[in-house]
Amino acid sequence: MANSKTWIKISFLSCLVFVALAETGEADKVPEAPKEDDGVLVLTDDNFKGVIEKEKFVLVEFYAPWCGHCKALAPAYAEAAKQLKKSENPVPLAKVDCTVEKDVCNTHQVQGYPTLKWFKDGEASDYDGPRDHDGIVSYVLERSDPNYKPPPEAVLTLTKDNFDEITQKEELMLVEFYAPWCGHCKKIGPELEKAAKVLQKREKPIAIGKVDATVETDLATKFEVTGYPTMLIMRNGKKYEYKGPRNEPEISEYLINQEGEATKLKATMKEVKNFIKEPNNNDPVILAVADNTEDPIYKLFVEANNDVRDDYSFGHTFAKEAKKYFGLKKSAILLIQPDHLRSKHEAKQHVYQDESGSPSEVQKFYKKNYIPLVGFFRTDNEKRFEKKPMVLVFYDVNFSPTYRSITQFWRSKVVEVAKEFPDIQFAVANEEDSEGRLKDLGLTESGEDVNVGAYDAAGRRYALVDEEFSEDTLTEFVEEFLKGNVKPVIKSQRAAPKAKPGKVQVVTGNTFDQIVMDESKEVFIEFYAPWCGHCKAIEGYINKLAAKYKGEKDIIIAKMDGTLNEGPSQYAFEGFPTIYYSLPGKKNDPIKLDGKRDMDALVEFIETNSKVLKNKKTEL
């Protein structure tokens, strides 16, 4: 009986202790097992520690639902999770929504999305692997499975010992020169591997290789590698510039289009005539007229075209009648303009016949003759109009058969003026396709059927205003433009007053030449944007510079709002802030600040480049 009472007391006391512990929160909590989302474990502030401590290896993605890069990664990450779950030694992939689970994200100092971390025995390290399915799987297995043997890379590793042997036997090959530490190289590496796998499965495979330029320094020097990654096309050991994309599947598509010769055979004279007289073609064609594939001109033609195959339309013919048709006595490369773009003042065809010439000389021949006396300026070919000065005539340009006569009516007037000014590039442009240029010239509301703009070598714009278009008005405009009597059209705010001593001088587009290009002054000029955070951060430093050099009458500290004003092309800015130091005698070659922008760095920039300050020190 005594024993029975004792047990009753013990049981009663145990219940009281359990209730007390439960009420004070000291009873053990069993964390909820993590849920899965498409094969990926969903971790929270509550279950994160338990999962990390339980699993020897875990890869965790810290993400935000609105993050574009996170969304792009999600499919590959999920597929990798499913594959790794089925492996001999399964490794979980997990994710944490940092917009909800803020404690764990703060603990692991997550500052950007997606952030991936590799956990081994609970210890975290930054994930530095690829972000595609195969790359993630390989990364995890290499670190978790001692028996794992990665599949051989599809991209060939090239060294000084095998480079020539491999590249010389390949008709077409892509080679990447890289550095192991290069971020861009790490990004493109998986893309090249994917492309290589696709291309090696083709009936006629295309190889991709890579060279570690930090190890194979002789190869890097031989191929003039100065930055990473450097991509080259190799054709039987000869190098050509790679002008293609850096993502798959675009890489493999580009390389497939690079196969074979850039030129197509025109076997009969009918094919030749159709090629050179294509009615809808607004660009010249380039035709090799040769005897056979062993003809030196043909071989030179083929080699020259490899590097520019995307830039021109090439054809070749071995037809016996071709030389007579084109008035040739020997083989030649011909550049032929469309009939509607060739005037009576121009040769019917441009001819190259130097068998001993080089590919670069042939390419110069193409470039020199590509634009006719009056070209057709379009958005898809504007880079070809490099020659300056240039005069553009804007109207309703349309060379289709229905509208060709009216288009040629205006163009013929431009031709008659152009022949008198051989040092100027002339072209016509469709006004609807050139709204941006017309706006920059201030001609969108001109009310004229035909508008004219001119561009000088410095990138400045000039407009023909308040004049009805004719040969005479165009001629007069060009003459005055060449004499410097036409004022440029400049994007500008209203001119700011002259700054007081010790204050920053505000420059506008219209006052840029007066202030910055003043040959009697040294000018420190900052191009800024009102919304730019970095600009706001250094605003105080710029004000302090003006105060510091208050006593230097020949040094001006200035700034210009780059969103509302513009200056000469020598003072180009693609981002904000951009800072230059402009010296007398070198106004067209300003010194750009590349580096830190704190107060000490800005002072050093001025004192290193200022002739005024150096002369004062010399005098002392």
Q: What is the pLDDT of residues 29-82, one digit of tens each?
A: 556 788 999 999 999 999 999 999 999 999 999 999 999 999 999 999 999 999
Residues 340 and 281 in one domain: yes
Distance CA 592, CA 573 (A): 10
- Number of Cβ within a 10 Å radius of residue 523: 23
| pLDDT higher than 70, residue 139 | yes
Distance from first CA to last CA of the chain, Å, rounded?
A: 113
At 333 the pLDDT is 97
In a domain, residue 347? The reply is: yes
At 513 the pLDDT is 92
Average pLDDT over residues 522-534: 94
Last residue in a domain, options 419, 451, 483: 483
**Average pLDDT along the chain:** 91
Average pLDDT over residues 92-96: 96
Residues 514 and 587 in one domain: yes
Residues 75 and 175 in one domain: no
Average pLDDT over residues 378-384: 91
Residues 251 and 333 in one domain: no
Query: What CATH number is attached to the domain comprising 237?
Result: 3.40.30.10
- Number of Cβ within a 10 Å radius of residue 119: 21
In a domain, residue 377? The reply is: no
Distance CA 490, CA 497 (A): 19
Residues 357 and 277 in one domain: yes
In a domain, residue 9? The reply is: no
In a domain, residue 26? The reply is: no
pLDDT band for 620, please (50, 70, 90 cuts).
low
Q: 286 in helix, strand or coil?
A: strand
User: What is the CA 384 to chain-centroid distance, rounded?
Assistant: 18
Average pLDDT over residues 380-408: 93
Q: 528 in helix, strand or coil?
A: strand
Distance CA 561, CA 565 (A): 6
Query: Which of residues 185 and 2 earns the better pLDDT score?
Result: 185
In a domain, residue 15? The reply is: no
| pLDDT higher than 70, residue 27 | no
| pLDDT higher than 90, residue 538 | yes
Q: 576 in helix, strand or coil?
A: coil
My answer on whether omega of the bond before 146 falls inside 30° of 0, hence cis, is no
Q: Say if CB 264 and CB 315 are below 8 A apart.
A: yes
Residues 214 and 277 in one domain: no
What are φ and ψ of residue 121, in 5° steps? 55, 40
Query: Of 604, 579, 576, which is closest to residue 516 (Cα–Cα)?
Result: 579
Query: Of 434, 287, 311, which is closest to residue 384 (Cα–Cα)?
Result: 311
Give, in order, the Cα–Cα distances in Å from 125 to each of 119, 186, 205, 476, 491: 6, 18, 39, 72, 51
Last residue in a domain, options 144, 165, 193: 144
At 33 the pLDDT is 81
Last residue in a domain, options 307, 335, 370: 370
At 567 the pLDDT is 87
At 30 the pLDDT is 57
At 49 the pLDDT is 93
pLDDT band for 260, please (50, 70, 90 cuts).
confident
Burial label for 514, CB within 10 Å (0-12, 13-18, 19+), is: exposed
Average pLDDT over residues 215-221: 95
Residues 279 and 230 in one domain: no
Residues 253 and 269 in one domain: no
Q: What is the pLDDT of residues 226-242, one digit of tens each?
A: 999 999 999 999 999 89
| pLDDT higher than 60, residue 585 | yes
Distance CA 50, CA 104 (A): 12
| pLDDT higher than 60, residue 385 | yes
Amino acid at position 567, single letter: G
| pLDDT higher than 50, residue 16 | no
Q: Position of tokens 């994917």?
A: 194
Give, in order, the Cα–Cα distances in Å from 386 to each of 253, 337, 390, 418, 455: 30, 18, 9, 17, 11
Q: Which of 3-7, 309-313, 323-327 has the lowest mean pLDDT?
A: 3-7
Residues 294 and 312 in one domain: yes
Burial label for 321, CB within 10 Å (0-12, 13-18, 19+), is: exposed
In a domain, residue 496? The reply is: no
Residues 252 and 277 in one domain: no
| Residue 535: strand pairing partners | none
Tokens of 110: 């997550």
Residues 451 and 548 in one domain: no
| pLDDT higher than 80, residue 446 | no
| pLDDT higher than 50, residue 21 | no
| pLDDT higher than 90, residue 307 | no
In sequence order, what E strands does 494-586 have?
A: 505-506, 522-528, 555-561, 578-582
- CA 544, 509, 378: angle at the middle one, nearest 5? 135
Q: 421 in helix, strand or coil?
A: coil
Burial label for 104, CB within 10 Å (0-12, 13-18, 19+), is: buried
Q: 75-80, long-range: CB within 8 Å, 24+ apart, which pairs?
A: 76/131, 76/132, 76/133, 76/136, 77/40, 77/136, 78/38, 78/39, 78/40, 79/39, 79/133, 80/133, 80/136, 80/137, 80/140
Catalytic positions, written as ranges = 182, 185, 532, 535
Q: Which domain holds residue 514?
A: 505-619
What are φ and ψ of residue 181, in 5° steps? -90, -5
Q: What is the pLDDT of residues 238-257, one digit of tens each?
A: 999 898 999 888 999 999 98
Q: Say if CB 411 and CB 396 are below 8 A apart.
A: no
In a domain, residue 10? The reply is: no
Query: Which of residues 22 and 373 earns the better pLDDT score?
Result: 373
Q: Which of 146-160, 310-324, 410-424, 550-564 has the lowest mean pLDDT?
A: 146-160
Total domain count, the chain = 5
What are φ and ψ of residue 35, in 5° steps? -80, 165
Q: 516-520, long-range: CB within 8 Å, 24+ apart, which pairs?
A: 516/558, 516/567, 516/571, 516/582, 516/587, 517/568, 517/582, 517/587, 519/584, 519/585, 519/587, 520/554, 520/584
HEC profile of 365-418: HHHHHCCCCEEEECCCCHHHCCCCCEEEEEECCCCCCCCHHHHHHHHHHHHHHH
Average pLDDT over residues 276-291: 92
In a domain, residue 614? The reply is: yes
